[in-house]
Structure 1
Amino acid sequence: MPEVILQAWQAIETLGVEKVFLLLMGPVFVVFMAVEARHLQRRRAQTYSVEQVGTNTLLAVSHSVADGIAWLLVIGLFYALFEVRLFEIPATGWSLILLLVLQDFFYYWFHRASHRIRWMWASHVTHHSSETMNLATALRQSLTYPISGMWLFWLPLAWIGFKPELVILAVAISLAYQFFVHTESVKKMPAWFEAVFNTPSHHRVHHARNPQYIDRNYAGVLIIWDKLFGTFVPETERCDYGIVRQIHTRNPFVMMFHEWRDMFADVRRPGPLWLRVKHLWAPPEWQRPDDVQPQ
Structure 2
Amino acid sequence: MIAAVMYAIPAFVLLVVIEALSYRFLPDDDERGYDMRDTATSMSMGVGNQLIDLPWNLVSVIVFAGVYTMAPWQLSATSIWTWVLLFLAEDLTYYWFHRLHHRVRVLWASHVVHHSSQYFNLSTALRQSWTTPMTSLPFWLPLALLGFPPWMIFLQQSVSLLYQFFLHTERVGKLWRPIEWIFNTPSHHRVHHGMNSAYLDRNYGGILIVWDRLFGTFAPEGERVVYGLTKNIDTYNPIRVAFGEYVSVWRDVRGAGNWRDGLGHLFGPPGWTSQKRG
Normalising to structure 1: TM-score of the pair? 0.88
Q: Which of 179, 186, 193 is residue 179 of structure 2 equivalent to?
A: 193
1:172 deviation in Å?
A: 1.1
Q: Which of 111, 116, 124 is residue 103 of structure 2 equivalent to?
A: 116
What is aligned with 1:206?
192
Q: Which of 127, 133, 156 is residue 140 of structure 1 equivalent to?
A: 127
Alignment of 1:56-205 (within 5 A): 56-92=42-78, 93-147=80-134, 149-205=135-191
What is aligned with 1:53?
39
What is aligned with 2:22?
39
SS state of the match for residue 199, structure 2? coil
Greater shift in the superposed pair: 59-68 or 100-109: 59-68
1:48 deviation in Å?
A: 2.1
Instruction: Look up the equivalent residue of 1:204 and give its one-letter code.
Output: R
Instruction: Look up the equivalent residue of 2:14 and give its one-letter code.
Output: V
Q: Deviations over 1:227-265 (max 9, x none)?
A: 000000000110000001111111111111111011110
Greater shift in the superposed pair: 69-78 or 191-200: 69-78
SS state of the match for residue 42, structure 2? helix
Instruction: Look up the equivalent residue of 1:126 and give its one-letter code.
Output: V
1:290 deviation in Å?
A: 8.7
Alignment of 1:224-243 (within 5 A): 224-243=210-229
What is aligned with 2:13?
30
Post-superposition, which runs of at least 4 consecutive aligned residues in structure 1 deviate over 6 A? none
SS state of the match for residue 212, structure 1? helix
In 2, Cα distance between equivalents of 1:115 and 1:267: 19
What is aligned with 1:19?
2
1:61 deviation in Å?
A: 1.4
In 2, Cα distance between equivalents of 1:270 and 1:27: 46
1:270 deviation in Å?
A: 4.4
Percent identity of the aligned residues? 42
Give the 3 Å change call, closer, same or farther, for CA 27–71 of structure 1 in structure 2.
closer
Q: Deviations over 1:57-104 (max 9, x none)?
A: 211111112222223224322112211213331113442232122111
In 1, Cα distance between equivalents of 2:38 and 2:231: 20
In 2, Cα distance between equivalents of 1:257 and 1:242: 17
Is 2:243 the partner of 1:257? yes
SS state of the match for residue 111, structure 2? helix
Instruction: Look up the equivalent residue of 1:116 and give its one-letter code.
Output: R
What is aligned with 1:245?
231
What is aligned with 1:266?
252
In 2, Cα distance between equivalents of 1:24 and 1:199: 24
In 1, Cα distance between equivalents of 2:230 and 2:276: 22
What is aligned with 1:7?
none
The structure number with the bigger radius of gyration is 1
In 2, Cα distance between equivalents of 1:179 and 1:209: 20
1:145 deviation in Å?
A: 1.3
Instruction: Look up the equivalent residue of 1:168 and give its one-letter code.
Output: F
SS state of the match for residue 106, structure 2? helix
Alignment: residue pair count = 273
User: What are structure 2's unaligned runs of at least 5 residues?
Assistant: none
2:189 and 2:203 in contact (8 A); partners too: yes
Give the 3 Å change call, closer, same or farther, for CA 287–270 of structure 1 in structure 2.
closer
User: What are structure 1's unaligned runs of at least 5 residues?
Assistant: 1-17
In 2, Cα distance between equivalents of 1:24 and 1:274: 46
